[in-house]
């Protein structure tokens, strides 16, 4: 990811500024889309709708992992509540970093942290007993579903006179709790299992470990999960995300990966020490490690795409990671993986060397010259470990270096940040790392309600904590919706320019992976879905080199609480395109009679400004043939508030009379799908009587049409 402040904008559910409702009319008369089915591009890749995730604060643990107890390995010492500040309600981005704390039960002084013989990490709780008065620890703020079964376990040791109970409480009174006795205890830690069935729903339930009797007891680790978890993951979110058929997930980072020690993330979860992640200044329980991420990909039915630590990491460790994940059991690291319960190699194909190494926010950031040397060293070591892997270098084109203000920090003026300038990381790979990569990654983030102004950036104008150059945008809805797709188009134009300069890129099949992208600062609603649909259309126009894309974040496709989840409008859009404009389709050119408005500024010297979208303004149209060329698929985005007639004129084939349409829309731009509310946005299938007349494209809608072709040209 990029700077912490940028991601805050992405995760906080803030509404975009009020926008002008006016819409440009487009061409006079009916809009015409001219589709040439005699010219096909490379098929849509199964990796076109991929996802990105990283251990950012508690993001993975809140959305995907089913553990209900925070700090279950006791990274923090246990303090009495009166010594802490009163709890305050939190929402939005803060929830990603919030950790519920353990508090003493009974005398506060009875709970101490034993540093001499910890079970895991730096210390473990020791509880001194005092007869029949319960003493122990409690965690509050747990969410329960009535009638649902929860299972867990605890590691304990203690003196013979200690009697310990675990309790789940969902309300006041003796009837609103369940307790289970565990023991007997001895001098060595033992694992004790327990289970509960919640008698009522609660969002502030409490879990307790208490003891009576004489002597003392030590707590090693403790765990509580819904009994229906799938290998430790939440069943509800896994079931939803599996429906997206995303192709691949890029993991484990992100900024996080530059401080990630994969060696410490494998083996028995209870024996993995928690630690402070310095990239995000957040405590990680270390429960979701390398093997768990591979399990996640298996459960989702996607390919893992692993980013190695090229920040504080080294080439030897990266190569060892390849051997651990891909090596046979006859090798040392393959045998270690087998001992950890995973005898079959994961056969990870795609590997990314580092994350955003060009960014000064990245741990281990170096100069471009030094990083090229590092990239090549990593590539050599990793390919020795497994020659079959596909390596991707972490690039940054001039648009990224300009918009993120990095080139300016390095002292370059705006007219010096052209293609293959000293600030162009992507071109540096093409010049100095040839043979050490199969593809190059690009990242982009657009900000809702803001626009980048090159003149303001040159003058150093800054708003709040944003990079210089961002100013409030006074946009129509249509301008707001199409803004992020312009970044895709600009990157495509830059890539084409590289191909002209380095013809071997096409001969050797060097491809681009859009490893991170998002429209930040806007809620997941129909308006945002319209914007992402235009992003999809633009990416699908460049399948000859844009072969992979990973959306930030994978879990941003769902709306979830601690106990429930639904596909939000972004997730619904991904499913719509993956189901009906998916792998194997052959994109074809789309012309028209209404060009898109041109951009107002030239961000990259030597790259002529081009707008995203098809020449069917204000509609955006993308088309493709089915793999056997028997059907035509047409995706149409209408971000205006009126019905738009659209004529299809097909060159090289005829259209049969009838067709099918899958339509995503809702009653208003702010319509959304959220947990606990009736869904407002739907995808509905309908018939199309005659495609040879004008299609009546509904307002604020995304429509994917499918028509049978006749008289197909060879």
- Could you please report the per-residue DSSP string of 283-316? EE---S-HHHHHHHHHHHT-EEEEEE--SS--HH
With respect to residue 498, please indicate whether it lies within any of the assigned structural domains.
yes
Q: Which of 580, 612, 637 is the last residue of a domain?
A: 580
The pLDDT, as a whole number, for residue 462 is: 77
Question: What are the residues whose beta carbons fall under 8 Å from the beta carbon of 336, sequence distance 6 or more?
Answer: 266, 324
Q: Which of 207, 226, 245 is the last residue of a domain?
A: 226
Q: What is the mean pLDDT of residues 395-404?
A: 92
Number of C-alpha atoms within 13 angstroms, CB side, residue 532?
Answer: 30
Q: Which DSSP helix (H) or strand (E) runs through 447?
A: strand 439-447
pLDDT band at 27 (very low <50, low <70, confident <90, very high): low
* Interatomic CA distance for residues 28 and 236, integer angstroms: 49
Domain co-membership, 163 together with 241: no
Q: What percent of the chain has pLDDT over 90?
A: 82
Q: What is the mean pLDDT of residues 649-668?
A: 95
Whether 18 shows a pLDDT value over 50: the answer reads no
* Interatomic CA distance for residues 345 and 329, integer angstroms: 8
Q: How deeply is 14 buried, as exposed, middle or buried, from its count of CB atoms within 10 A (0-12, 13-18, 19+)?
A: middle
The pLDDT, as a whole number, for residue 690 is: 82
| C-beta of residue 511 within 8 angstroms of C-beta of residue 465 | no
In the numeric block, the tokens 């327990």 are attached to 194
CATH number at 394 reads: 3.20.20.80
Gyration radius of the chain over CA positions? 28
CA 59 to chain centre: 10
Query: In the sheet where 644-651 sits, what is the strand order?
Result: 590-592, 31-36, 644-651, 694-697
Q: What is the mean pLDDT of residues 143-158?
A: 98
CA 358 to chain centre: 20
Domain co-membership, 333 together with 435: yes
Domain co-membership, 296 together with 147: no
- Could you please report the per-residue DSSP string of 61-121? HHHTB----TTTT--SPP--GGGSPPP----GGGGGT----EEEES-GGGEEEE-SS-SSS
In 3-state terms, what secondary structure has residue 362?
coil
With respect to residue 570, please indicate whether it lies within any of the assigned structural domains.
yes
| C-beta of residue 207 within 8 angstroms of C-beta of residue 168 | yes
Helices (H), 514-664: 526-540, 569-580
CATH number at 91 reads: 2.60.120.260
pLDDT band at 5 (very low <50, low <70, confident <90, very high): very low
Distances (CA, A) of 100 to 74, 107, 227, 305, 641: 11, 20, 21, 32, 46
With respect to residue 661, please indicate whether it lies within any of the assigned structural domains.
no
Both tokens assigned to 462:
């800054």
In 3-state terms, what secondary structure has residue 711?
coil
In the numeric block, the tokens 């495609």 are attached to 691
Question: 90-99, 585-594, 628-637: lowest mean pLDDT where?
Answer: 90-99
In 3-state terms, what secondary structure has residue 172?
coil
pLDDT band at 576 (very low <50, low <70, confident <90, very high): very high
pTM for the whole structure: 0.93
With respect to residue 88, please indicate whether it lies within any of the assigned structural domains.
yes
Q: What is the mean pLDDT of residues 83-89?
A: 45
Domain co-membership, 221 together with 238: no
With respect to residue 656, please indicate whether it lies within any of the assigned structural domains.
no
* Interatomic CA distance for residues 615 and 594, integer angstroms: 5
Q: What rounded mean pLDDT belongs to the chain?
A: 92
Whether 2 shows a pLDDT value over 50: the answer reads no
pLDDT band at 20 (very low <50, low <70, confident <90, very high): very low
Whether 708 shows a pLDDT value over 70: the answer reads yes
Strands (E) in 227-302, as ranges, are 248-251, 275-277, 282-284
Domain co-membership, 235 together with 222: no
* Interatomic CA distance for residues 673 and 680, integer angstroms: 6
Domain co-membership, 444 together with 510: yes
Whether 37 shows a pLDDT value over 50: the answer reads yes
Task: Using alpha carbons, select from 418, 393, 386 the residue that is nearest to residue 322.
Answer: 386
* Interatomic CA distance for residues 87 and 100, integer angstroms: 10
Domain co-membership, 348 together with 265: yes
Q: What is the pLDDT of residues 253-303, one digit of tens each?
A: 899 999 999 999 999 999 999 999 999 999 999 999 999 999 999 999 999
Q: What is the mean pLDDT of residues 543-552?
A: 98
At residue 388, φ and ψ (nearest 5 deg) are -85, -10
* Interatomic CA distance for residues 697 and 637, integer angstroms: 9
Q: What is the pLDDT of residues 673-685, one digit of tens each?
A: 999 999 999 999 9
Question: In terms of pLDDT, which residue wins out, 65 or 405?
Answer: 65
Domain co-membership, 48 together with 141: no
Handedness of CA 346, 351, 353, 356 (dihedral sign): negative
In 3-state terms, what secondary structure has residue 646?
strand
In 3-state terms, what secondary structure has residue 409?
helix
Question: What are the residues whose beta carbons fall under 8 Å from the beta carbon of 256, sequence distance 6 or more?
Answer: 54, 55, 56, 277, 279, 280
Domain co-membership, 350 together with 298: yes
Whether 428 shows a pLDDT value over 70: the answer reads yes
Q: What is the mean pLDDT of residues 526-546?
A: 98
In 3-state terms, what secondary structure has residue 384?
helix
At residue 353, φ and ψ (nearest 5 deg) are -90, 100
Region label for 423, one of left (φ > 0), alpha (ψ between -120 and 50) or beta (otherwise):
alpha
* Interatomic CA distance for residues 313 and 323, integer angstroms: 16
In 3-state terms, what secondary structure has residue 610?
coil
Question: What are the residues whose beta carbons fall under 8 Å from the beta carbon of 545, sequence distance 6 or more?
Answer: 495, 499, 505, 510, 511, 512
Q: Which of 200, 226, 252 is the last residue of a domain?
A: 226
Domain co-membership, 336 together with 432: yes
In 3-state terms, what secondary structure has residue 518?
strand
Question: 186-190, 444-448, 500-504, 597-601: lowest mean pLDDT where?
Answer: 597-601
Domain co-membership, 151 together with 180: yes
Q: What is the mean pLDDT of residues 131-152?
A: 97
With respect to residue 633, please indicate whether it lies within any of the assigned structural domains.
no
Domain co-membership, 164 together with 311: no
Q: Which DSSP helix (H) or strand (E) runs through 11?
A: helix 4-11
Domain total for the chain?
Answer: 2
The pLDDT, as a whole number, for residue 463 is: 77
With respect to residue 336, please indicate whether it lies within any of the assigned structural domains.
yes
What's the domain range around 142?
81-226
Q: Which DSSP helix (H) or strand (E) runs through 217?
A: strand 216-226
Which residues in 556-588 are b (16+ Cβ under 10 Å) and which e? Answer: bbbbbebbebbbbbbbbbbbbbbebbbeebbbb
pLDDT band at 22 (very low <50, low <70, confident <90, very high): very low
Both tokens assigned to 23:
């819409």
Distances (CA, A) of 665 to 480, 569, 662: 18, 10, 10
Question: What are the residues whose beta carbons fall under 8 Å from the beta carbon of 159, sequence distance 6 or more?
Answer: 185, 214, 215, 216, 217
Question: What are the residues whose beta carbons fall under 8 Å from the beta carbon of 168, sequence distance 6 or more?
Answer: 142, 144, 150, 177, 178, 196, 198, 205, 206, 207, 208, 224
| C-beta of residue 402 within 8 angstroms of C-beta of residue 348 | no
Whether 19 shows a pLDDT value over 50: the answer reads no
With respect to residue 624, please indicate whether it lies within any of the assigned structural domains.
no
């Amino acid at each position: 990811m990029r700077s912490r402040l940028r991601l805050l904008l992405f995760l906080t559910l803030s509404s975009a500024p009020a926008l002008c409702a006016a819409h440009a009319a487009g061409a006079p008369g009916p809009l015409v889309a001219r589709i040439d089915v005699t010219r096909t591009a490379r098929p849509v890749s199964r990796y076109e709708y991929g996802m990105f995730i990283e251990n950012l604060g508690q993001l993975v643990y809140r959305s995907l992992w089913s553990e209900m107890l925070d700090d279950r390995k006791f990274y923090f010492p246990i303090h009495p509540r009166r010594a802490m500040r009163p709890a305050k309600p939190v929402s939005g981005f803060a929830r990603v970093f919030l950790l519920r704390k353990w508090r003493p039960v009974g005398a506060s002084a009875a709970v101490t942290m034993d540093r001499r013989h910890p079970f895991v990490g730096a210390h473990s709780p020791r509880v001194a007993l005092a007869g029949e008065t319960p003493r122990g620890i409690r965690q509050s703020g747990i969410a329960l579903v009535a009638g649902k079964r929860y299972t867990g376990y605890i590691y304990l040791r203690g003196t013979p006179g200690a009697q310990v109970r675990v309790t789940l409480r969902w309300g006041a009174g003796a009837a609103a709790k369940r307790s289970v006795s565990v023991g007997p205890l001895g001098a060595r830690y033992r694992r004790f299992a327990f289970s509960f069935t919640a008698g009522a729903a609660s969002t502030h339930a409490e879990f307790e470990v208490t003891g009576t009797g004489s002597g003392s007891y030590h707590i090693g680790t403790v765990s509580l999960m819904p009994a229906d978890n799938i290998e430790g993951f939440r069943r509800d979110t896994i079931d939803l995300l599996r429906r997206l058929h995303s192709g691949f997930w890029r993991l484990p980072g992100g900024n996080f990966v530059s401080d990630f020690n994969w060696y410490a993330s494998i083996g028995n979860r209870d024996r993995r020490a928690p630690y402070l992640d310095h990239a995000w200044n957040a405590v990680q329980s270390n429960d979701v490690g390398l093997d768990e991420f591979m399990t996640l990909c298996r459960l989702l039915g996607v390919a893992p795409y692993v980013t190695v630590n090229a920040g504080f990491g080294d080439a030897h460790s990266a190569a060892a990671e390849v051997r651990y994940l891909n090596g046979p059991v006859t090798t040392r690291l393959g045998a270690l993986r087998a001992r950890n319960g995973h005898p079959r190699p994961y056969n990870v194909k795609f590997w990314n060397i580092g994350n955003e190494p060009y960014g000064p926010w990245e741990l281990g950031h170096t100069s471009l010259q030094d990083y090229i040397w590092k990239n090549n060293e990593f590539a050599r070591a990793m390919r020795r470990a497994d020659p079959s892997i596909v390596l991707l270098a972490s690039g940054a084109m001039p648009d990224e270096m300009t918009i993120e203000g990095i080139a300016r920090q390095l002292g370059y003026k705006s007219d010096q940040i052209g293609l293959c300038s000293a600030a162009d990381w992507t071109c540096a790979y093409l010049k100095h790392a040839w043979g050490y990569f199969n593809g190059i990654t690009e990242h982009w983030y657009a900000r809702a309600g803001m626009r980048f102004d090159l003149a303001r950036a040159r003058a150093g104008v800054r708003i709040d904590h944003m990079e210089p150059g961002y100013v409030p945008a006074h946009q129509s809805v249509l301008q707001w919706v199409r803004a992020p797709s312009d970044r895709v188009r600009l990157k495509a134009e830059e890539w084409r320019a590289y191909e002209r300069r380095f013809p071997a890129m096409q001969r050797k099949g060097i491809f681009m992976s859009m490893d991170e992208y998002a429209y930040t600062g806007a809620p997941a609603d129909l308006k945002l879905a319209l914007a992402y649909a235009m992003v999809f259309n633009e990416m699908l126009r460049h399948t000859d080199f844009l072969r992979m894309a990973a959306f930030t974040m994978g879990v941003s496709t769902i709306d979830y609480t601690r106990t429930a989840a639904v596909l939000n409008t972004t997730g619904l859009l991904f499913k719509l395109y993956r189901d009906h404009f998916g792998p194997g389709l052959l994109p074809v050119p789309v012309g028209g009679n209404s060009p898109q408005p041109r951009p107002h500024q030239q961000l990259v010297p030597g790259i002529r400004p081009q707008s995203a979208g098809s020449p069917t303004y204000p509609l955006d149209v993308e088309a493709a043939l089915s793999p056997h060329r028997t059907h035509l698929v047409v995706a149409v985005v209408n971000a205006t508030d009126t019905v738009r007639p659209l004529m299809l004129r097909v060159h090289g084939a005829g259209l049969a009379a009838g067709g099918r349409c899958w339509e995503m829309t809702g009653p208003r731009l702010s319509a959304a799908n959220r947990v606990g509310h009736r869904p407002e946005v739907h995808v509905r299938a309908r018939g199309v009587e005659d495609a040879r007349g004008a299609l009546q494209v509904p307002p604020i809608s995304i429509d994917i049409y499918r028509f049978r072709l006749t008289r197909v040209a060879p």
